[in-house]
Structure 1
Amino acid sequence: MQQIVFLDRDTIPSQITLPRPAFAHQWQEYPATRPAQVVERLQQATIAITNKVVLNADTLRQLPQLRMVAIAATGTNNVDLDYCREHGIVVSNIRGYATGSVPEHVIAMLFALRRSLFAYHQDIQAGVWQEKQQFCFFTHPIGDVAGSTLGIIGSGSLGQAVARLASAIGMNVIFAERKAASECREGYLPFAQVLKEADAITLHCPLSEETTDLIAAPELAQMKPGSLLINTGRGGLVNEADLVAALQSGHLGGAGCDVFTAEPAEPSNPLLAHADLPNLLLTPHVAWGADSAIQALANQLTENLEAFVAGHPRNRV
């Protein structure tokens, strides 16, 4: 009988049904798990489910019964994949479940920033309308999204879904080749060229050693003046202090961040410390969070468990 332990069940909202697998099993779930609790809670587990709880090599080597790690998300940077491969632990993740939710969040951020919606909301709260004594006022630039160029970094299912939606609203879409690549694949432009040509950049690549600080001061300086940066990928892809500096200098037109280097973000995080900037839009890692998307995630999670027990693991990483 499989012993299944879900370490952070509260990462899936309570209104979402999490189907139980059809095979014989015992199920234990915890709302959240602190690092010091992981080994104890997984001591008898054959299958561990984690969304964001870290399972590093030091932890995994203390879990001799463990045969599978089911990640309840797409990102895999919280699990030591090398250790799992070396010791026969199957790791599966969730794929393609938020190809409606994330692109809509990206496009919503683009519209909000390009049309300065948040900035105008702040001005109304501050009484600027009454000061101007006109039926309308123009204290921030308002631009069109249609006809502008969107640069996409990351061409997986989410990047492709964003491209389709952006094209549908009249944007010109270009894909960036990997930053360190010496040659471009068909359909891709050099990384630096995309930075220079795009009116907005959106990030949809995984976080790794190679992509940490993918966008920092040098890359921000290469971006077109007044352009936008949207990050719904991983917080570590962007150097947050450098991003704030680019916004404050006026070089960058705006930024939308749904992800942070540490979550929840500490008050000292540069983005939170400057959350009152009129051209900075922050959301708490919810781009993926439409109910339809999370239900698809939950269903796929159970399918991953059942496929593993049936002897043909799916979505292996």
Structure 2
Amino acid sequence: MSSFSHTGPHIVRLDGHISPVPHFPPTFTHTYTSYDRTPPDTQTIISRLADANVAITTRVPISAETIAICAKRKLKLIAVHAIGYDMVDLKACKEHGIKVCNVPAASNEAVAEHAIALFFAVRRRVVDMHNLVINTNEWAEKGSLASHFDGVPVTCRQEVVGIIGVGELGNRVANIFRSLNSTVLLSERPSCPPASTRPGRTPFVTVLAESTVIIITVPLAPTTLNLISTTELSLMKPDAVLINVARGGIVDEVALVKALWNRKIAAAATDVFVEEPAVSENSVLIKAAKEDALKGRLVLSPHLAWFARSSVEKLRVTTATNIEVWARGGDEGWNMVDLE
């Protein structure tokens, strides 16, 4: 750590409220400042990173302006305390010589299981049943609540599950559904012509048209922004359900609500939102989920699919290891993001 003072690198964490402190070994000399929450305005972020050699962020955005100013000061590394690094301007990092690292596959096991939980919640109408039991007397009055629901749900053996985003997370979800005897379709990239579809993959439009369940596990990027919108939703089956455990912005929220209202698809569930934290004032999904016509057909969770003991521990250890190996000048043993 010869490039730092005798106190080692100064590490500043911008959103410490999300998960516990990285687990640095006692032999690693450093100073550490953690802000519980940092508002997403550029000037506040720049101010908090004024003396930082390393910035740790989970969801606080680090823009090109922030990078340009902080790179002239002391910032050398942005450690993303998560899998996704879409909140960091990678082009600006490359331009100013700032390295970026993340925690690959930090929570894939937990997120895959959460995707399955959301699927069962909407397909089996669990939330709707819960609310009926505790808020009404319909069960006692009618003797059975089966007539309350439109149609009869199929079992997993009858489901055709389309996976959009076939990385480690997508493959984990696929394997779980295979174990439940579902048919699984692994989607080809939307930009790929059907004639060029790779072995083991299915053309994107075919996945949309033939699946009864669509699981979104693709990263957010310019090419995946609003990947699922009006056109794509119109291709889906009327009994299909859509599950998003990837990132907000991949599914066009306004188009999704319209598709649910018009019964173009049966149901949807998401753990992620365009704007987070999501509240009624900034989320069309939350507003829609409160409407009687969509209760039970739109299930929401607060970006906590990742939340599990294994995920938390991997985030703590890997983030710390990334920073320590980088600080000691190591070329290998840490998860540097390719800025090309």
TM-score category by the smaller chain?
over 0.9
The answer to whether 1:128 aligns with 2:141 is no
Tell me the residue number matched to 1:312.
Answer: 331
Query: Is contact 1:115–1:144 with CA below 8 Å preserved after alignment?
Result: no
**Could you give the per-residue CA deviations for residues 121-148 of structure 1, whole angstroms, max 9, x where no partner exists?**
233223221331x255332133212331
Number of the residue aligned with 2:315: 297
Size of the aligned set, in residue pairs, is 313
Partners of 2:161 and 2:184 within 8 A in 1? yes
RMSD across aligned C-alpha pairs, in angstroms? 1.5
Listed as ranges, the matches of 1:1-317 within 5 Å are 1-12=8-19, 16=20, 18-21=22-25, 22-34=27-39, 35=41, 36-63=43-70, 64=72, 65-124=74-133, 125-132=135-142, 134-135=143-144, 137-140=146-149, 141-182=152-193, 183-268=196-281, 269-276=283-290, 277=294, 278-310=296-328, 311-312=330-331, 314-317=334-337
CA contact (8 A) 2:253 2:284 kept: yes
- Mapped to 2, the partners of 1:316 and 1:250 lie a distance apart of 44
Quick one: distance in 2 between partners of 1:86 and 1:203?
Answer: 32
TM (norm. structure 2) is 0.88
Percent identity between matched residues is 35
Q: Which runs of 4+ in 1 moved over 4 A?
A: none
Retained in 2: the 8 A contact 1:76–1:93? yes
1:101 aligned partner, one-letter code = A
Q: What is the Cα deviation at residue 272 of structure 1?
A: 0.6
CA–CA distance in 2 between the matches of 1:91 and 1:222?
Answer: 38
| Partner deviation per Cα, 1:190-240 (whole Å, 9 max, x = no partner) | 110000111100111111111111001110010111100000101100111
On the 8 A contact 1:95/1:315 being kept in 2, the answer is: yes
Q: Secondary structure at the match of 1:274?
A: helix
TM-score normalised according to structure 1 size: 0.94
* Distance of 1:62 and 1:224 partners within structure 2: 50
Q: Residue type of the partner of 1:51?
A: T
- Give the structure 1 partner of residue 4 of structure 2: none
The answer (yes or no) to whether the contact 1:111–1:145 under 8 Å persists in 2 is no
| Greater Cα shift, 181-190 or 98-107 | 181-190
State the one-letter code of the partner of 1:232: V
Q: Any gaps of 5 or more consecutive residues in structure 1?
A: none
Equivalent-residue separation in structure 2 for 1:287 and 1:304 (angstroms)? 24
